[in-house]
Amino acid sequence: MKLLIHGCRGSVPSPSKQTVKYGGNTPCFEIQIGDMQLFFDTGTGFRTANIMADTSKVLCFYSHFHHDHIQGLPFNPTLFNNAVDFTFTSGLIDKDSLKHTLKTYFSGGYFPLDIVTFLENLAFANIADVIESLKETVKIDWIELNHPGGSIGYSVQAGQHKFVYLLDNEYQPEQCDALAAFCAGADIVAWDGMFTDAELPAKKGWGHSSMEQALSVKQSANISTMIIAHHNPSRTDEQLDILADSFSAENLHFAQDGLTYDFRSGIFK
């Protein structure tokens, strides 16, 4: 089982000389399990994700449908290879609503090509059916998060290894017990750390959490490793370095485009 981070910037792509280290791509996390590739959101990071030639399943799980989490979908060239099948699902809405949402966004006045109609290798499935189809090899679970318009967190467990994806959540203390139970036994939890505690009062209702809240939940839930993602698009590498250094003793890692984690060895690269 392997984690690959293709995009970890929040809200809007932010490529510049000041964002080279942590990256400017919007959210796209990948879990590789054997010959399966599971993607969590298809932000601009999805554009350069490598769909392997021997992949048997490519599954895309959507947390929600704000622009930064879907905008990279049609820019991965493998999407246009009819020999590779893609399945899309979400705990937030059913398969028909998901199909309608992506069709609306990627057609008409919003995008030049109606990819949902044009591409025959795209399938849409209800989350319960996906969970059932994978249960012999992978355990998938999901949880509702606190975000304008709704958002979903996911967990993936294969054997003794577990990954949890919790982006786009405005953390509230009453969530602690539910999140702790959801994260139990996780090797890594990806956390929405768009803000600092000092910034939160002015961002109430924006749908995001803080880095300090990650530490609080990590301690309360006895989580070994958390990775901060959905970086504020205005933060430079230098600013993120300063923040990362301030949490370095707490085993909070800051996500970077291109960062990988091997669950067997426990090593980030």
Q: Are 41 and 27 in contact (CB under 8 A)?
A: yes
Nearest 5°: CA angle at 121, between 155 and 42?
40
Q: Which domain holds residue 246?
A: 2-268
Give the CATH number for residue 257: 3.60.15.10
117 Cβ contact partners less than 8 Å away, ≥ 6 residues apart: 103, 107
Whether residue 56 has pLDDT greater than 90: no
Whether residue 149 has pLDDT greater than 80: yes
User: pLDDT-based confidence at 220, cuts 50/70/90?
Assistant: confident
DSSP character string of 34-76: TTEEEEE--SGGGGG----TT-SEEEEEES--SGGGTTTGGGS
Mean pLDDT within 202-230: 93
184 Cβ contact partners less than 8 Å away, ≥ 6 residues apart: 221
User: pLDDT tens digits for 196-213?
Assistant: 999 999 999 999 999 999
pLDDT at 53: 78
Mean pLDDT lowest among 86-90, 113-117, 118-122, 221-225: 221-225
pLDDT at 93: 98
Considering its fold, how many domains does the chain have in total?
Answer: 1
Length of the chain equals: 269
User: pLDDT-based confidence at 70, cuts 50/70/90?
Assistant: very high
Mean pLDDT within 152-164: 97
Question: Mean pLDDT, the chain, as a whole number?
Answer: 95
